[in-house]
Structure formats: C-alpha cells, structure tokens
Amino acid sequence: MLESNQHSIFQTINAASPIDKVGVEERVARFQTRSIKDDAKAQGLKMVLSMIDLTTLEGKDTPGKVKQMCFKAHHLHDLHPNLPQVAAVCVYPSMVAIAKQALKGTSVKIASVATAFPSGQSNLEIKLADVKLAVDSGADEIDMVISRGKFLSGEYNFVFDEIAMIKEACGVARLKVILETGELCTLDNVRKASDIAMYAGADFIKTSTGKIQPAATMQVTYTMLLAIKDYFEATGKMIGMKPAGGISTSKLALHNLVMVNEILGPNWLHNKWFRFGASSLANDVLMQLLKLESGSYQSPNYFTLD
C-alpha cells in the first residue's frame, strides 16, 4: 500500500512541466521594479523583521555568542517600542539547550540544523540521532539537509524516504527541508526536489544552508513558490517557504514579499509560513526603519554584528 502510494506521488511529481528559465527571469525582473511608498515600506520592513531566523552556525560558536544573539532576538523593542521580535534563532543541536534557556518566556522559536548539516554526508542512524539531540534539547523546528549526492544520482526514492523518516523523528517540531539549490544546478531540479520534500512531509522548504553560492536567488525562490502553490491546489495543505543565504538588504527582502503575495497570496505573509534565513538582514532592516522615522541613517556600529 505504501509503495503504491509513493508510486502515485512520483507520477504526480514527474508530471510537472519543465521550467521555462527565460520566463522565470522575466517574471522575477518585474518584481524587482516595484516601487513601494514609505508607509507601505515601513509596514513591510516590520513584517520582514518578524520573519527573520537569526542564525549562528559556525565552528567558533560559543555559549556566550548564542546568548548574545538570543538577547538581540527578543530585545529589539529596546531600539524602538514598535519593533516586533524576530521569528526564531537557529543554532547547532549542541547549542539548543542554551538558546532555550536564554529565550525562556518569549515567543521566539528555537530552530536547529540537523542531519549532518551542511553536507548531509552521513548515514541515517547518525542523522536521526542528530535530530533527536535537537528535539530532546527543546528545538521547536528542525532544518534538515537533503542528500544532494543521492538526488543528483537519480535516487529520488532514497531522498523521499529519508525526509519522511526525519519528519517522523521530529515529533511535534516543524520540519524545514533544505534543498541546497546552489548544488542542484537547474531550476527543474529545484522544482523536483521541492515536490519530493513536500510530499515526503516537509512543513517548510528552504533554499540553502548559506554555505554554498548561489543561494537564495529570486529565480530559485520563485520556482519553489510555484511548487508550493501547485501542492496547495492539489492537497489543500499550506507549506512554508524559507529563502536563506544572500538576502542581506531590505530592498531584496521586500521584493521577495511582493513575490510571495502575488504567487501565494496574503495568507503566506506571516512568519508561520514565510521566513528569511539571513542574520545580516536584520541590521539593514533596523537601519532602514530608523531612517524612515528620523530621516537619517544610524551608524552600522549602532547595531550588534550577530
């Protein structure tokens, strides 16, 4: 029965039309020419801020660095009383307990990368243990990486089954599936990987780890948003989207929100369904918001670097 169901799913996935790369580029170019007035811009920037996953994923991460990031995550109102909190902080599994304690009593979510992030080059047993460590330590969300080598070798059933098993291991934690689109080479591969992830149980699909370039290009995000739209129309189930890596300016973030609104509609304009994986974006958004209010830019030194 399960094999029959999976066969049917892959028939649906394989029936997707090839991606018109030129058409995608033309459509994305139109999103980038939109002009946004100051009132709408301020509203949009606050929305962007509420959708950011502040992230530290370095070998040099320390408990002190994680605590500093967590403090920033829920004290933005110290800069201005009307600023929202960010959506989440994202850390390695070994740092989840530290972040959980630092954010106790707040609404900021704890996300954790897992499954041998960023390469995914490990066996299933270790990947499941990685997820279990993060969930047992208090993670609300798991950001897993797919096995790109298996995908590029055409072993799509392997990729599907691995995502499904990771989803089961997450329990109540939401699962974001990272495609690492910079390694998938074509938009057709991005579309297929998106479909596999969603049908295997992803709650979110995510572009990148931030370790490989190109990362969250608008062409890639556009392709993934269309996949989400088609999946919703076929199943009635909403799937979240997280572009990550390379979105460092408020202007680019706002262009992404315009694109989300036009493709998926206003229901997706909430941090339950859309996130930005870009810590450096937060400081640019803060600078732009304070510029709209005061008429002048603050020095970048006014903001913490994390």
What is the pTM assigned to this prediction? Answer: 0.94
Q: What is the pLDDT of residue 91?
A: 98
Distance CA 160, CA 196 (A): 6
Distance CA 143, CA 231 (A): 20
**Separation of first and last alpha carbons in the chain:** 49
Distance CA 83, CA 88 (A): 15
Q: What is the CATH number of the domain that holds 54?
A: 3.20.20.70
Q: Which candidate in 167, 176, 192, 242 is catalytic?
A: 242
Radius of gyration of the chain (CA): 19
Q: pLDDT of the chain along its 306 residues, tens only?
A: 456 678 889 898 988 889 999 999 999 999 998 888 878 999 999 999 999 999 999 999 999 999 999 999 988 877 777 899 999 999 999 999 999 999 999 999 999 999 999 999 999 999 999 999 999 999 999 999 999 999 999 999 999 999 999 999 999 999 999 999 999 999 999 999 999 999 999 999 999 999 999 999 999 999 999 999 999 999 999 999 999 998 999 999 999 999 999 999 999 999 999 999 987 899 999 999 888 877 666 655 555 555
Q: Is 21 labeled as catalytic in the residue annotation?
A: no
Distance CA 10, CA 230 (A): 15
DSSP E strand boundaries for 100-194: 109-114, 141-145, 174-178
Q: Which candidate in 143, 203, 284, 306 is catalytic?
A: 143
Q: Which residues constitute the domain of residue 295?
A: 2-302
Q: What is the pLDDT of residue 279?
A: 75
Q: Is 242 labeled as catalytic in the residue annotation?
A: yes
Distance CA 184, CA 196 (A): 14
Q: What is the pLDDT of residue 2?
A: 54
Residues 270 and 238: beta-carbon distance below 8 Å: no
In what order do the strands lie in the sheet containing 109-114? 53-55, 88-91, 109-114, 141-145, 174-178, 204-206, 240-242
Domains contained in the chain, number? 1
Q: Is 132 labeled as catalytic in the residue annotation?
A: no
Q: Which candidate in 109, 206, 284, 306 is catalytic?
A: 206
| Tokens encoding 70 | 């967590």
Q: What is the pLDDT of residue 1?
A: 46
Q: What is the pLDDT of residue 59?
A: 95
Q: How many CB atoms lie within 10 A of CB 150?
A: 15
